[in-house]
Amino acid sequence: MSEFIPDIKAFCCHYTSQQTCADNGENLQKSGFPGNVSLHRVPCTGKLQVSTLLKAFEEGADGVYVVGCPVNKCHNVKGSQRAAKRVAAVQKALGELAVEPERIRMYHLERGFHPEFVAAAQEMDKLVKALGPCPFKGEAQ
């Protein structure tokens, strides 16, 4: 059986991800950032709607995570707090559908490119690999 490579979608705000896109993402690749994690930049994570996060699962994501500013240091004051609430709403909905709520997660990270940004991606990759393919893909049964 071939190794399961999860499809992971990361939604990051402009501030936490701005350095990652510099140099055509070369630094990102060298840093050990998993290639199966796709980055989706938004101006502020507070702009992310619950429906956007659910669509990511509809489009086949096995895991989703959001990276916003530290709770009390958001560039847009409460943007990352709002995002955390919406992530929690999706976690609750996943639970209602008997799907592991851990498939979606919120990270609050300092701005710019630093090891924690890569560590978050690696952590999600490891976690979702352990969980296996998302049941929403209808492949589990």
Partner 1 sequence: MIIAERKPIGEILDMIRDCDRVLLLGCRGCVTVCSAGGEREVEILASLLKLGRKKEGRPVEIVEGTLVRQCDREYIAGLAQWDGQYDAVLSMACGVGVNFIANLRPATVVFPAVNTSFFGGSATQGVWTEQCAGCGNCILHLTGGLCPVARCAKSLMNGPCGGSQNARCEINPNVDCVWQLIHDRLGRINRAEQMLQIAPIRDWQSAGHGGPRQVVRDDLIV
Task: Please report, as ranges, the residues that interact with partner 1 according to CB under 8 A.
Answer: 49-51, 54-55, 57-58, 93, 96-99, 135-138, 140-141
CB distance 80 to 43 below 8 Å: no
Residue 5 CB, nearest distance to partner 1 (Å)? 20
Half-sphere exposure of 51 (CA within 13 A, CB side): 0
Residue 34 CB, nearest distance to partner 1 (Å)? 24
CB distance 65 to 107 below 8 Å: yes
Residue 140 CB, nearest distance to partner 1 (Å)? 8
Residue among 111, 92, 117 at smallest CA distance from 103: 92
Looking at the Cβ atoms of 100 and 116, the one nearer to partner 1 is 100
Looking at the Cβ atoms of 21 and 93, the one nearer to partner 1 is 93
